[in-house]
């Protein structure tokens, strides 16, 4: 297990009257690819800016390699940032942009020229040395921003939605490139996105956030398969989140009908949230199903169909399947016990937002 | 069609009212006779006496030195002031801008007398007191030229430079200053023209024996208008015109370059 490279301890930050981060704790291991994932305005950029040195936390400390760097100015931190809005130097050519950090480090011209070429090849923009940033498209500018950061070979790279302006194909290419970079150069990545698919594809560890609180930390698999609450389940991929009652261990009642599941440790007759992934809702002939329903809509999504079913137990299910069930047809619905995720209901509004302290940090690696 | 035609006539009339007096002035400066109404032939005589007069030449030098020195000093102070105001909170900024605007709107005569009273107490009136006065009234113009540039500036570029290892100073010089330069230049030239333009404040803060062109002309006119003064006024006008054109080329050429650069690529 590699050592903790960055540690945020007990960080709180407000802007005016709005509390953005509240007693946040997080650590990042060396050579880990950590993704901060959450809806707009949840404080992702603020965390990156605190790590980068552009904001000081009101309370709490930032540690880098065991040293307290909370008060260290950005230019003396061994990390580089790819900013959400690119922030290229508009009055300099692309080459000058990329060379900026290297010139400060007093590298010789030969080295700088090679680095620029290497970086431009890497981001798939060879020959762009003499162009001005304004003459580039948003996606191209974003890639230059990545190139400008990585030529400095920082220990840690902070990336704030660096692929947001790219089309799907280019985004996938860049995702592979970034992962390759991480493996080749041994850089630690702290990556911000609100695209859950991107987070699942690239990360070693995902940190799911909502309104300044960490909801869950874990591997992509554990976050997807075992979300700790309805927010995470809803945010990571589409889900059926259904009210249910836990009758006893391994038995949950939905809409008055009992289903077998694998969860234990709930109170008798405790109201719970039941999460079922759309791809786990199996459709078939009416006779074989645990319950039945009528297809109300079907949308073609490329790899699969997305189907809405009004079920006999009064619940609307969303299902994903490669089979075509025309609207109006009657179907049988089944879900195997493993695919029910049972969660405690939040006790109050406040608990809807879960503090990190409620969840021991189980970052694998 | 008629509207277009009317528009042209309107602009023509405005132009005539604005520039006819200056045209007449320039014409008279070449008139051989001293008369203000009769044209008796073309001459350079008034220009010759003008450039031959040591008093006028000295005043010209003083004016130029004052303009350049006061504009340069005011640009520097104004730059720092603008940076300070920019980094203030909203309320503080409003108060500072209010105080910045007072000297702009204040009647020159009030500023002039106030400065004179102040200077008399501490230093002999002369070149340095005029210089101080000019710096004082030039600073607000510079601030007002730089502040908008600061406000539209992308502060993230500054942060990116810091992120890449630049110290605050280096990031300022490499990233902020180039963006502010058009504003600073505009402020500088504005200050130059304001300084050359000024009569009232200079009149009150100058000591005996020191003259700028405007105070000299005023003194001469009291003794009766001589044609040299037409020539001098024409030269002044030409000078300001040259500065204006220079500013236009300076600030305009950059944009042109930028556009062609974009065109080449696009
Ligand atoms: N300088 C600031 N002054 C005031 N409020 C701020 C400032 N910076 C951020 N905030 C507020 O803090 C909250 C979190 O902002 P942040 O930029 O960290 O969100 P984010 O998770 O990065 O969102 P997005 O996905 O839209 O980029 C928002 O409510 C935002 O309005
Ligand atoms: Mg953000």
Instruction: Give the C-alpha separation, B16 to B27, whole Å.
Output: 15
Q: Describe the strand order of the beta sheet including A67-68 as a list of residue ranges.
A: A18-29, A4-15, A59-64, A67-68
Contacts by A260-264, CB closer than 8 A, 24 or more apart: A260/A337, A261/A337, A261/A340, A261/A342, A262/A337, A262/A338, A262/A340, A263/A340, A263/A341, A263/A342
Amino acid A360: pLDDT: 42
Q: Is the pLDDT of residue B116 over 60?
A: yes
Tokens for A233? 């389940």
- The DSSP call for residue A81 is E
Last residue of a domain, one of A228, A261, A296: A228
Q: Once rounded to an integer, what is the mean pLDDT over residues B173-183?
A: 91
User: Residues A119, A193: one domain?
Assistant: yes
**pLDDT, position A62:** 96
pLDDT for residue A255 is more than 50:
yes
| CA separation for the pair B238, B26 (Å, rounded) | 10
Find where tokens 């230059």 sit: A144
What's the pLDDT tens digit per position in A221-230?
999 988 888 8
Do A207 and A278 sit in the same domain of this protein? Answer: no
What ranges do the domains of chain B cover? Answer: 1-43, 53-265
- Out of A54, A85, A101, the one facing B165 most closely (by C-beta) is A101
DSSP characters over A344-357: EPPSSTGGGSPPGG
Contact flag B159-A83 (C-beta cutoff 8 Å)? yes
Last residue of a domain, one of A177, A194, A228: A228
Nearest CA to ligand 1 atom 7: A15
Hey, is the C-beta of B161 within 8 angstroms of any chain A C-beta? yes
Q: A349 in a domain, yes or no?
A: no
Q: Is residue A233 part of a domain?
A: no
State whether B166 and A100 contact (CB < 8 Å).
yes
pLDDT band for position B125 (cuts 50, 70, 90): confident
Quick check: helix, strand or coil at residue A134? Answer: helix
Write out the residue range of the structural domain in which residue A319 sits: 238-344
Q: What is the pLDDT of residue B251?
A: 65
In a domain? residue A353: no
The CA A163 to ligand 1 mean position distance, Å, reads: 19
Q: What's the N-to-C CA distance of chain B in angstroms?
A: 38
Same-domain status, A148 and A12: yes
pLDDT band at B75 (very low <50, low <70, confident <90, very high): very high
Co-location of A304 and A160 in the same domain: no
- A203 and A256 both lie in a single domain: no
Q: Is the CB of A42 under 6 A from ligand 1?
A: yes
CATH of domain B53-265: 1.10.3720.10
State whether B156 and A73 contact (CB < 8 Å): no
Q: Are residues A223 and A77 in the same domain?
A: yes
Mean pLDDT of A16-41: 93
pLDDT at A347: 61
Report phi then psi at B35, rounded to 5. Answer: -65, 150
B261/A contact by beta carbon, under 8 A: yes
Whether B131 has a pLDDT exceeding 50, the answer reads yes
Mean pLDDT of B96-110: 87
CB of A17 within 6 A of ligand 1: the answer is: no
Ligand 1 centre and the CA of B217: distance in Å? 62
Half-sphere exposure of B196 (CA within 13 A, CB side): 20
Q: What is the pLDDT of residues B205-259, one digit of tens each?
A: 998 888 998 898 888 888 877 888 888 889 888 888 888 888 777 666 554 444 3
Averaged pLDDT, A118-147 = 92
Chain A CB contacts of B179 under 8 Å are 90-91
Rounded to a whole number of angstroms, the distance between the first and last alpha carbons of chain A is 6
* Residue A263: DSSP 8-state: -
- Nearest-atom number in ligand 1 for the CA of A46 is 18
Q: What are phi and psi of B147, to 5 degrees?
A: -55, -45
| B156 to A89: CB separation less than 8 angstroms, yes or no | no
* From B160, B167, B262, residue closest to A83, measured CB to CB: B160
Is A96 among the domain residues?
yes
The residue contributing the CA closest to ligand 1 atom 25 is A40
What is the DSSP annotation of chain B?
A: -HHHHHHHHHHHHHHHHHHHHHHHHHHHHTBSSS-SS----B--HHHHHHHH-HHHHHHHHHHHHHHHHHHHHHHHHHHHHHHHHHTS-HHHHHHHHHHHHHHHHS-HHHHHHHHHHHHHHHS-SSHHHHHHHHHHHHHHHHHHHHHHHHHTS-HHHHHHHHHTT--HHHHIIIIIHHHHHHHHHHHHHHHHHHHHH--HHHHHH--TT---HHHHHHHHHHT---HHHHHHHHHHHHHHHHHHHHHHHHHHHHHHHHHHHHHHH-
Indicate if ligand 1 lies below 6 Å from the C-beta of A237: no
Instruction: Identify whether A216 is part of a domain.
Output: yes
pLDDT band at B123 (very low <50, low <70, confident <90, very high): confident
Pick the residue of A15, A104, A107 with the most B CBs within 10 A to test the interface with B by mutation.
A104
Asked if B215 and B202 touch (Cβ cutoff 8 Å), the reply is: yes
Residues A39 and A117 in one domain: yes
Closest CA to A86 of A156, A46, A139: A139
Positive or negative torsion for Cα B178, B180, B182, B187:
negative
Nearest CA in chain A to B175: A89
A29 C-alpha to center of ligand 2: Å? 22
Phi-psi region of B256 (alpha: psi -120 to 50; beta: other; left: phi over 0): alpha
Which strands make up the sheet holding A33-37, listed edge to edge? A79-82, A156-160, A188-193, A33-37, A205-210, A213-218
pLDDT tens digits for B179-212? 899 899 989 988 998 998 899 999 999 988 889 9
Same-domain pairing of A204 and A263: no
Residues in chain A: 365
- Give yes or no for residue A44 CB within 6 A of ligand 1: yes
pLDDT tens per residue across span A282-330:
999 999 889 999 999 999 988 899 999 999 998 999 999 999 999 999 9
How far is A4 from A212, CA to CA, in rounded Å?
Answer: 22
Residues within 5 Å of ion ligand 2 by Cβ?
A 45
Residues A207 and A325 grouped into a single domain = no
Asked whether the beta carbons of residue A132 and residue B170 sit closer than 8 angstroms, the reply is no
Same-domain status, A272 and A145:
no
**For residue B39, is pLDDT > 70?**
yes
Q: Which atom of ligand 1 is nearest to the CA of A47?
A: 18
Q: Is the beta carbon of A15 within 6 A of some atom in ligand 1?
A: yes
DSSP class of residue A302? S
On whether residue A264 sits in a domain, the answer given is yes
What are the tokens at B80? 């720092």
Q: Are B115 and B204 in contact (CB under 8 A)?
A: yes
Q: How many domains does chain A have?
A: 2
A86 within some domain: yes
Specify the pairing of strand A33-37 against strand A188-193: parallel
Residue A314: how many CA atoms within 13 Å on its side-chain side?
7
Residue B135: which of B80, B77, B180 has the closest Cα?
B77
Query: How many Å lie between the centroid of ligand 1 and the Cα of residue A40?
Result: 8
Are A70 and A57 in contact, with CB atoms under 8 Å apart? yes
Domain end, chosen from A194, A228, A262, is at A228
Do A138 and A274 belong together in one domain?
no
Residues A40 and A126 in one domain: yes
The mean pLDDT value of chain A amounts to 89
Task: Render pLDDT for A207-219 as a digit per residue (tens, 0 to 9).
Answer: 999 998 999 999 9
């Amino acid at each position: 297990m590699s050592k903790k490279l960055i540690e945020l301890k007990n960080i709180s930050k407000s802007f005016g009257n709005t509390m953005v981060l509240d007693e946040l704790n997080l650590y990042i291991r060396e050579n880990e690819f950590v993704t901060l994932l959450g809806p707009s305005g949840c404080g992702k950029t603020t965390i990156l800016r605190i790590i980068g040195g552009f904001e000081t936390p009101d309370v709490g400390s930032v540690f880098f390699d065991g040293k307290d760097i909370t008060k260290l100015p950005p230019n003396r931190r061994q990390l580089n940032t790819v900013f959400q809005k690119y922030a290229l130097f508009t009055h300099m050519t692309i080459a000058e942009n990329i060379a900026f950090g290297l010139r400060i480090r007093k590298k010789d011209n030969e080295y700088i020229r090679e680095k620029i070429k290497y970086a431009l090849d890497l981001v798939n923009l060879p020959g762009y040395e003499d162009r001005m940033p304004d003459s580039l498209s948003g996606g191209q500018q974003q890639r230059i921003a990545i190139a400008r950061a990585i030529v400095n070979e920082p220990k840690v790279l902070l990336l704030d939605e660096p692929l947001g302006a790219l089309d799907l194909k280019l985004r996938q290419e860049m995702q592979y490139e970034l992962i390759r970079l991480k493996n080749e150069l041994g850089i630690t990545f702290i990556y911000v996105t609100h695209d859950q698919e991107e987070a699942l594809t690239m990360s070693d560890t995902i940190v799911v956030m909502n309104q300044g609180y960490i909801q869950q930390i874990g591997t992509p698999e554990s976050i997807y398969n075992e979300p700790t609450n309805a927010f995470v389940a809803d945010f990571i991929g589409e889900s059926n989140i259904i009210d249910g009652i836990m009758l006893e261990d391994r038995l949950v009642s939905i809409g008055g009908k009992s289903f077998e599941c694998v969860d234990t440790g709930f109170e008798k007759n405790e109201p719970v949230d039941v999460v079922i992934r759309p791809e786990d809702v199996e459709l078939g002939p009416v006779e074989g199903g645990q319950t039945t329903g009528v297809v109300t809509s079907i949308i073609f999504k490329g790899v699969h169909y997305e189907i809405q079913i009004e079920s006999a137990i009064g619940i609307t299910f969303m299902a994903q399947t490669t089979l075509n069930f025309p609207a109006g047809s009657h179907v049988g619905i089944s879900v195997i016990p493993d695919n029910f995720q049972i969660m405690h209901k939040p006790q109050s509004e406040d608990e809807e937002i879960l503090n990190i302290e409620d969840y021991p940090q189980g970052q694998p690696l | 069609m008629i509207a277009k035609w009317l528009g042209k006539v309107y602009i023509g009339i405005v132009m005539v009212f604005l520039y006819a007096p200056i045209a007449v002035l320039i014409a008279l400066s070449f008139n051989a006779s001293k008369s203000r109404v009769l044209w008796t032939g073309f001459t350079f005589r008034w220009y010759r006496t003008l450039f031959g007069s040591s008093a006028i030449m000295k005043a010209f030098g003083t004016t130029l030195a004052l303009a350049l020195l006061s504009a340069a000093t005011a640009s520097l102070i104004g730059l720092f002031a603008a940076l300070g105001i920019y980094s203030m909170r909203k309320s503080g900024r409003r108060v500072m801008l209010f105080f910045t605007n007072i000297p702009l709107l204040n009647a020159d005569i009030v500023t002039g007398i106030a400065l004179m009273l102040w200077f008399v107490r501490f230093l002999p009136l002369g070149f340095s007191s005029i210089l101080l006065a000019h710096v004082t009234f030039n600073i607000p113009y510079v601030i007002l030229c730089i502040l908008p540039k600061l406000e539209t500036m992308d502060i993230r570029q500054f942060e990116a430079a810091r992120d890449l290892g630049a110290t605050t100073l280096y990031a300022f010089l490499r990233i902020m200053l180039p963006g502010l330069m058009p504003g600073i230049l505009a402020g500088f030239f504005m200050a130059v023209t304001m300084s050359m333009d000024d009569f009232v404040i200079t009149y009150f803060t100058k000591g005996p024996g020191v003259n700028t062109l405007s105070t000299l002309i005023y003194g001469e006119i009291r003794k009766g208008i001589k044609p040299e003064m037409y020539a001098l006024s024409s030269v002044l006008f030409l000078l300001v015109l040259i500065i204006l054109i220079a500013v236009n080329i300076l600030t305009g050429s950059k944009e042109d370059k930028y556009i062609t650069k974009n065109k080449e690529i696009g």
